[in-house]
């Protein structure tokens, strides 16, 4: 997937947990740990028993990590 420099330009799309895990390679528990720590985009509620993530935010998070690899 190509790098996206401006997530606001992407169409708004909700993705479910399996797709988030696919993008990030993180486990479910690690995703929720990072949400609690404030270091990963929080999910949005679609209904009483349904949550999703905004795809552009997850992609921006991935891009941010990739851009840091040369800074360490």
| 22-43 pLDDT, tens digit each | 999 999 999 999 999 999 999 9
| 26-49: b (≥16 Cβ within 10 Å) or e | eeeeebeebeeeeebbebeeeeee
Residue-level pLDDT at 17? 98
49: left (phi over 0), alpha (psi -120 to 50) or beta: alpha
Predicted confidence (pLDDT) at residue 7 exceeds the cutoff of 90? no
Question: Does pTM surpass 0.75?
Answer: yes
> Residue 3 — very low, low, confident or very high, per pLDDT cuts 50/70/90?
low
């Amino acid at each position: 997937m190509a790098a996206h420099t401006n997530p606001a330009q992407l169409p708004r799309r909700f993705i479910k947990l399996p797709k988030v895990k696919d993008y990030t390679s993180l486990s479910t528990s690690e995703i929720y740990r990072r949400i609690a720590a404030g270091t990963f985009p929080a999910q949005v509620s679609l209904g009483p028993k349904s949550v999703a993530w905004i795809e552009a935010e997850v992609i921006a998070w991935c891009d941010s990590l990739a851009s840091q690899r040369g800074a360490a």
